[in-house]
Amino acid sequence: MRAQHTEASLPTASALELVLKCAASAALPAVYTAYEAADEGTDLHATTQRVARTGEAPSDERTAAIVEKLPAWAAEAGTEAAFAYDVRADTGRYLGANLHHVYNQTPQEFAGAADWSRHSDGLVRVLDLKTGRTETPRARRNWQVRTLGLAFARAANADGAEVSILHAPPEGTPWLDVAVLDAFALEEVADGLRTAASRIRAERDAVRKGETPRLTVGEHCRHCKARFSCPAWAGATDRALGLKDATPAQRYEALKQLEAVVRDVKRRVYEDARAERIDLGGGRYFGVHATTERELAGAVVYDVVRELHGEEAARIATSFDASFAAIERAVRPYAVKRGDLSALKERVTAAVTARGGLKTRETREIGEYEEGT
Ligand code: SF4
């Protein structure tokens, strides 16, 4: 589950980098999407946390490289511990572990979870692992770990916090950056968070009144979940396409033209890639590359599993798939003269229907159609 900002809650610590560039990103309606890369990152976090805790041998090079960079204290640390910092009371609290982004913080609190955290010898430590390609600010300027460090320090009555970033992009060598925040540095973070909270409230007020919030457009917009509702982007797209005062029908026609353009560009990119792979930089290429897929023959799997484990297991290991086209292929050899094929197909379909093997499901989708069809 992904936490969403509500009118009442402040954004999570991981969103602060963006929020401090453009507070409107925490005020406009957001669209949350799940990406495969994000799921991969979650798996990698869980694996490295387990390997660091148990000392088991890493099963792949990337995990090994990350674990090698981890500081020694991570082996004894807690993982996925969530903390909240209250901007009005200037206090911090521990919320629990493995909360999966559901923090239930008060309206005055910024909350977030640390991949690794530990409190020992009067010092609190937090470490965040980044596994994506996006550039990550160094620990001393990183709002996510600074906020977590502040919340943890206030919760533990500690005067300072050690905050670390371990960045392990898919390509390249992981780097670890550590910063120690003393009492003054923590106060500076607290100040920044108070400012962020009041700017967010101001922009939310503007949106509530139907006014346009203050927008700061830039490279950071790529990561903004509110981009689809942002007037800066909607306006820019309409202006670029000449659709400012377009009717729905004109927008639809423009969409068809755009799709044709995209198809054309795609065709040319694929032609180029087929002739020679395209160098995208950073060790990435777009071009022909071999992958191996293993395909099981259903009938053989069925026989083998039935011999070894019986009928029930064989049915679980395989699946039945049917279609009208497959029925036609199956009965075609039994059709002797013209017209037989349709009759044979209808006979099979009628028998299947009689045994409850044909279900009709209505689906509704948006598409172009002619009246009466
Ligand atoms: S898309 Fe950019 S300008 Fe618009 S709200 Fe998000 S960060 Fe701000």
10 lines ligand 1 (CB under 6 A): no
Side chain identity at residue 12, one-letter code: T
302 lines ligand 1 (CB under 6 A): no
DSSP state of 32: -
**Burial group, residue 19, by CB count within 10 angstroms (0-12, 13-18, 19+):** buried
Measured at the alpha carbon of residue 144, what is the angle toward residues 201 and 103, in degrees to the nearest 5? 65
pLDDT in tens, the chain (373 residues): 444 444 568 999 989 999 999 999 999 988 766 554 555 667 888 889 998 888 888 888 888 989 999 998 998 899 999 999 999 999 999 999 999 888 889 999 999 999 999 998 888 999 999 988 788 899 999 999 999 999 999 999 999 999 999 999 887 789 999 999 999 999 999 999 999 999 999 999 999 999 989 999 888 888 898 988 888 887 777 777 788 788 888 888 888 888 888 899 999 999 998 888 888 887 888 888 876 767 778 888 889 989 998 888 888 888 777 788 888 888 888 888 777 888 998 999 999 989 988 888 777 777 777 776 6
The residues of the chain that CATH labels 3.90.320 are 13-204
Q: The tokens 């045994």 sit on which residue?
A: 355
Q: Indicate the pTM of the whole model.
A: 0.64
CB 210 within 8 A of CB 203: no
- Which residue is closest in CA terms to ligand 1's atom 2? 221
Atom of ligand 1 nearest to the CA of 22: 8
233 lines ligand 1 (CB under 6 A): yes
Q: Which residues pair with 176 in a beta bridge?
A: 166
**DSSP codes, 108-163:** TEEEEEEEEEEEETTEEEEEEEE-SSS----GGG-HHHHHHHHHHHHHHT-S-EEE
Q: How far is the CA of 226 from the centre of ligand 1 (A)?
A: 7
Q: How far is the CA of 111 from the centre of ligand 1 (A)?
A: 22
226 lines ligand 1 (CB under 6 A): yes
Tell me the best of 21, 32, 215 to mutate to test the pocket of ligand 1, counting ligand atoms within 8 Å of each CB and taking the most. Answer: 215
Q: Considering Cα of 117, then 122, then 123, then 124, what sign does the dihedral take?
A: positive
Fold designation for 13-204: Lambda Exonuclease; Chain A (3.90.320)
